[in-house]
Amino acid sequence: MTRRFDDPGSPISTKPTSHKPGADRPRNTTFTAFGLASETEPLSPGLHIVATPIGNLRDITIRALATLAAADAVLAEDTRVTRTLLAHYGITTPLLAYHEHSNETVRDRMVARLQAGEALALVSDAGTPLVSDPGYKLVQAAIEAGIAITPVPGPSAVMTALVAAGLPTDRFFFEGFLPQKAGARRNRLEALIQVPGTLVLFESPHRLPEMLADAAAVLGADRPAAVTRELTKFYETIRRDTLGSLSERFGQEGAPKGEIVVIIGAATTPDRPAEGDAALDALIRTALERHSIKDAASLVADETGQPRRAVYARALVLARDSQG
């Protein structure tokens, strides 16, 4: 049984379609789901940003499948990964590689195809493209060329981990991957101390123990956190505890396997000097005249015995006041 996705009120048909190069190609513009072969309608020309599963192949929308099947080509971060997804749903759309090493010449070639009236689908290895993904350069180039951009929403590792962590979701900050080197990683964590919301980070499995140790040292061992692994997959695990406890646990167990997303709650207490502490403010202002915010905070914390994180937070405020 074959059915057509030609309902003019469906999300697939929200833009007018047009005849374009490749529309009469002999390949099948169909996909198979729930045991049924479904025939798609032609896509409107432009770049279609398609979210794909982060692990479980069933976590894909009907609209995404129809878009991938009807596109003139699918631009994939790793064609081997995307080929598995397309084969699972009987989609035969040609695959083209587009990844972080793709240069301007490759982008120009893709933009030229789009200007010629083709519909191209952009996907990442997993989840929503452009999130810690090189696709934004192509999107920028397409926008500059006046080409239509159509998002096809779906799975996201960021949102999946966030809602499973059990931490506040009303305000959050996506950091992505922290620097690989310890010094740069700690500096970046210092900059995240005052973020007034839940932090969402990606991390490589082999660096997780070191990152958790640094996060506990810089952000505070008492901060609530969750380490999510292999989300939506068979070995999905979610560990919820404080940063200090998680750091100790993974320090003993070693690096895990699989895809990792770390969720860190905001500071539970202000843990900062009172704004009316004129003597402390005077010391900080004097230190800021000769040192960076970080070094000034360290010097004053050592001199006064105040918590380093608290002095750093106050130094940030005073530095901004002086600049403003």
Please give the pLDDT value at position 25.
Answer: 45
Token pair for 81: 């990964």
Please give the pLDDT value at position 8.
Answer: 36
Which whole-number Å values give the CA distances from 96 to 23, 120, 308, in the listed order? 18, 10, 51
- For residue 223, give the amino acid letter: R
Please give the pLDDT value at position 97.
Answer: 94
Asked whether 31 and 91 are in contact (CB, 8 A), the reply is: yes
Please give the pLDDT value at position 28.
Answer: 65
Instruction: Give the span between the Cα atoms of 107 and 75, in whole angstroms.
Output: 11
Please give the pLDDT value at position 3.
Answer: 42
Instruction: Give the span between the Cα atoms of 4 and 70, in whole angstroms.
Output: 12
Instruction: Give the span between the Cα atoms of 124 and 98, in whole angstroms.
Output: 9
pLDDT tens, N- to C-terminus, the chain (324 residues): 344 443 333 333 334 344 444 444 446 688 998 888 888 888 999 999 999 999 999 999 999 999 999 999 999 999 999 999 999 999 999 999 999 888 899 999 999 999 999 999 999 999 999 988 888 999 999 999 999 999 999 999 999 999 999 999 999 999 999 999 999 999 999 999 889 999 999 999 999 999 999 999 899 888 999 999 999 999 999 999 999 999 999 999 988 999 999 999 997 654 455 455 788 888 899 999 899 888 888 888 888 878 777 787 788 778 877 776
Please give the pLDDT value at position 17.
Answer: 40
Torsion from C-alpha of 194, 196, 197, 203, nearest 10 degrees: -20
Please give the pLDDT value at position 321.
Answer: 77
Instruction: Give the span between the Cα atoms of 110 and 24, in whole angstroms.
Output: 20
Instruction: Give the span between the Cα atoms of 228 and 250, in whole angstroms.
Output: 13
Q: Tokens 């123990």 map to which residue?
A: 209
For 92, what's the count of Cα atoms within 13 Å in the CB-facing half-sphere? 8
